[in-house]
Amino acid sequence: MLRVENLGKRYGAGCSRCERDGAADRRCPYCGSVWGCRGIDLEVFNGEILGIVGESGSGKSSLLRCLYFDEMPTQGSARLYPYQQGTRNIFEASSQDRRAIRNRFMGMVYQNPLMGLRMAFSSSGNVAEKLIAANWFHVGSIQKRATNLLDVMEIPLARIHEAPKTFSGGMQQRVQIARALANHPPLLLLDEITSGLDLSVQARVLDLIRKIQREWQIGMIVVSHDLGVIRLLTDRTVVMRDGHIIEQGLTDQILQDPQHAFTQMLVHSLL
Amino acid sequence: MTSPYNFAYLDEGSKREIRRAILKAVAIPGFQVPFGSRELPIARGWGTGGLQLTLSLIGPTDRLKVIDQGHDDSVNAVSIRNLVVATTHIETTDVTDQATIIQSRHRIPDDPLRPGQILILQVPQPEPLRHVEPREAQTRRMHAERDYSAVWLGLYEDIVRFGQITTGADYPAVVHHRYMIKPTPIPRWDLPKLHQAPFLTLLGAGRERKIYAIPPYTDVEPVAFEDYGFETEKFLSACRLCGSREAYLDELWDAKIQERIYQCSDTAYCRKRQTEIGKGDI
C-alpha cells in the first residue's frame, strides 16, 4: 500500500556538512538546522495497522505531516499504490495531484481537532467538504453519506448540523474520523488521537478505530507515545528516537521482547 | 480649457501599469492580477478600483456612463462622473447603448450591452475564498490547485440549514472553467448576463489592489449542485412605473398606501421603457 524510503525532513536552511554527515547529530553544529526525521524506511500493507511510537520530539508527527503533505520532506520518496500503481514518488507529484491524493487516497486525524476541522461549519458540513473535494456534487448523496458516517461514529443525529466547536473533545475526534473516512480512503493517518481525552472516551474512540479497521480493511498508521494504544490497535510497530527508526517489528514482539535499550526503557516505563 | 490635472487624473506611468495589469487579466480570465492601487481624491471602498480602470482606459472620444446600484443619479455615481469629466472633459450619458465605457457598482444594466462596450465593475472584496481562508498566500495556493471545496461548502451549509441557497449577491462563479470569482455584489439576476457576453467586463478592487476580467464570449458558470441548481431572483410584481417584468426590481415600502411596491433598479432602462409605452420621461 505505502512504501517510504529514506524520508527526511529538515527544519532550517541546511548546509553541505549536514547534507553529508547523515548519521551525525540531529542538530547540525555548523548551520543549526534540525532534522525532524531522517532516513525513514517503512512499509504499510493493505488493511494493516502500523504503529509509530516514541517519546515527544522523536519525529513521529513530522513523519506523518510529510506523508499527508502538510510539509514537504527534504529528502526521500514515498510510493502509494493507488496513485499510479505505486510507480511514482508522491512527493514529485504536482500540487494539484498532491491535493487529489490527500482527498481520495488518504484521511488524516490530527491530535488537535482545530487542525482537522472547520469549527465554524457544521459537523455534516465538515464531512461534506471532503466529499465535495472528491467531486461529489449531489446534495442528497452528500447528506446521506455524511449522516451515515456520523451515525457510525456515534454522533447523535440530532446534533450533526451543529458546529464541532460546541462538541466535547471526544466528539470532535469522532467527527474528525468521520471526515477522514468520507471518501473511503485506503490509508488513514492517526496522529495522537487519544491525547487529552479521558480514559473512557479514549476507549470509545479506540473501539471505533478497531471496528472500522475490521469492517473496512483500511491501512492505518497510528502515531502515539502511549504504548497502550499501540498494543491495542497495531499489527506492527516502529520505534523512533531522535528522528530515526531504532527498532521495528511485530507489536507483540516489540512489547514482549524489546531489543534496543531505548525500547526496553520505554516498555518498562509504563506506569 | 486648461485643466490643472493630467488627462484622466492619473499620471501616464500609472495608467500604463494598470493597462498592463488589465491585459494580463484579460489573458487569464478570472485570475486576480495584483496592481499598485493609486491614491485618488475619493476614499478607498468608494469605487477606487473601478475608477482607476476607467481613468486608465478612457480616451477623448469615449462616452462614459456611471451607475450605482442601477441609479445614474446617486451620490457615488455623480461624484465619480464629475471627477472623470473634470479631468477629461469627455461626454457622459445615461443611455446604456450610447456609452463606450460603463462603470457600475453592484449592477449590470438591464439593457443588453453590445460588442465593443466595456463594463467596469467596482469590487469591494475580490477574493471568493476570503471568508474561509484569511491568509493571502493560502488563497493563492487554493486558486492554483482549484481547491474551491470551501466555497461549495458554504452553499451546502445554506441548503442544509435553510433548504435553499441564500446567497443573494456576490454569488460565486467559475470563469472559463478555471478560476472562481466573486462577481462583485451584483444580484444573482445579473450573473447570467456575464456568460458568453459580447462585451468586456473588468473588475477592479482598489482597496484590495486586484484587477480581474471576463473577456467577451467567455463561459461564466455559477456554482451549483446537481440537485440544487442556480436560480435568479423572482419578482411577484411588475415595475410600478414602466410595468416591466424583465428587469431587476427594487422592493420599496410605500408608507402612504401601506403596501410593498416594486420598481426598476436600472433607472435608465425604466425611463426608456416609460418613453416607449408613452408615459413620458419622469
Tens of pLDDT, residues B146-192: 999 999 999 999 999 999 998 888 899 999 999 999 998 899 999 99
Q: Which CATH number is associated with domain B12-222?
A: 3.40.50.11310
Report the DSSP pairing between strands B173-175 and B179-181. Answer: antiparallel
Specify the 3-state DSSP secondary structure of A13: coil
Q: Does the beta carbon of B131 lie under 8 angstroms from any beta carbon of chain A?
A: no
- Tell me which long-range contacts B275-281 makes (C-beta under 8 A, separation of at least 24): B277/B242, B277/B243, B279/B241, B279/B242
User: Residue ranges of chain A with pLDDT lower than 50?
Assistant: none
For the stretch B239-279, pLDDT in tens is: 999 999 999 999 999 899 898 999 999 999 999 999 998 86
**Picking from A189-198, B80-89, B135-144, which range would have the lowest pLDDT averaged per residue?**
A189-198
- The reported pTM is 0.85
Q: pLDDT at position B282, please? A: 46
Q: pLDDT at position A14, please? A: 81
Mark whether B13 is an active-site residue: no
Burial grade of A53 (CB within 10 A; 0-12, 13-18, 19 or more): buried
Task: Check B47, B50, B206, B242 and give the catalytic one.
Answer: B242
Q: pLDDT at position B188, please? A: 94
Question: Is it the case that residue B199 has pLDDT exceeding 90?
Answer: yes
List of residues 6+ apart from A158 with CB closer than 8 A: none
ipTM of the modeled complex: 0.84
Residues of A in contact with B156 (CB under 8 A): 125, 128, 132, 139, 142
Within 13 Å and on the Cβ side, how many CA atoms surround B240? Answer: 10
**Percent of chain A whose predicted confidence (pLDDT) is above 90:** 56
List of residues 6+ apart from B240 with CB closer than 8 A: B261, B262, B263
A-B contacts (CB, under 8 Å): 52
For the stretch A7-16, pLDDT in tens is: 999 898 888 8
**Picking from A199-208, A257-266, B27-36, B91-100, which range would have the lowest pLDDT averaged per residue?**
A199-208
Q: pLDDT at position A225, please? A: 84
The closest CB to that of A128, out of B153, B226, B227, belongs to: B153
In sequence order, which ranges of chain A are alpha helices (DSSP H)? 16-20, 60-67, 95-105, 113-116, 123-133, 139-152, 169-181, 199-216, 227-233, 251-256, 261-268
Residues of A in contact with B226 (CB under 8 A): 137-139
Q: Measure Cα distances from B132 to A143, A166, B129, B149 in Å.
A: 21, 19, 6, 10
Residues of A in contact with B146 (CB under 8 A): 96
Query: How many residues are there in chain A?
Result: 271
Q: pLDDT at position A234, please? A: 93
Residues of A in contact with B227 (CB under 8 A): 138-140
Q: pLDDT at position A21, please? A: 65
Answer for the pair B68, B265: CB distance below 8 angstroms, yes or no: no
Instruction: Cell numbers for B143, please give them.
Output: 486558486
Q: pLDDT at position A22, please? A: 57
Query: Number of H helices and number of E strands within chain A?
Result: 11, 9
**Percent of chain B whose predicted confidence (pLDDT) is above 90:** 85
Tell if the CB–CB gap between A129 and B149 is shorter than 8 Å. Answer: yes
Closest Cα in chain A, distance from residue B224 (Å): 8
Rounded Cα–Cα distance for residues A241 and B138 (Å): 33
Rounded Cα–Cα distance for residues A65 and A67 (Å): 5
Got the DSSP string for chain B?
---SSPTTSS-HHHHHHHHHHHHHHHHSTT--EE--PPP-SS-TTSSHHHHHHHHHH--TT-EEEEEETTBSSSHHHHHHHHHHHHHH--EE-S-GGG-SEEEEES---SSPP-TT-EEEEE-S---TTTTT---HHHHHHHHHTT--HHHHHHHHHHHHHHSS----BS--EEETTTEEE--TT-BGGGGGGGTT-SSEEEEEETTTTEEEEE-TT--EEE---SSS-------SS--TTT--SSS-EEEEEETTTTEEEEEES-HHHHHHHHHHTT----
Rounded Cα–Cα distance for residues B203 and B17 (Å): 16
Q: What is the mean pLDDT of residues B72-81?
A: 93
Question: Is it the case that residue B198 has pLDDT exceeding 80?
Answer: yes
Q: Which residue of A has its CA nearest to B149?
A: A133
Rounded Cα–Cα distance for residues A207 and A201 (Å): 10
Q: pLDDT at position A270, please? A: 63
Instruction: Cell numbers for B164, please give them.
Output: 435553499
Closest Cα in chain B, distance from residue A154 (Å): 20
Rounded Cα–Cα distance for residues A185 and A188 (Å): 7
Mark whether B242 is an active-site residue: yes
> What rounded mean pLDDT belongs to chain B?
93
Q: pLDDT at position A90, please? A: 95
Question: Is it the case that residue B281 has pLDDT exceeding 70?
Answer: no
Question: Is it the case that residue B97 has pLDDT exceeding 60?
Answer: yes
Q: pLDDT at position A91, please? A: 95
Query: Can you list the domains of chain A with their CATH numbers?
Result: 2-268 (3.40.50.300)
Q: Does the beta carbon of B145 lie under 8 angstroms from any beta carbon of chain A?
A: yes
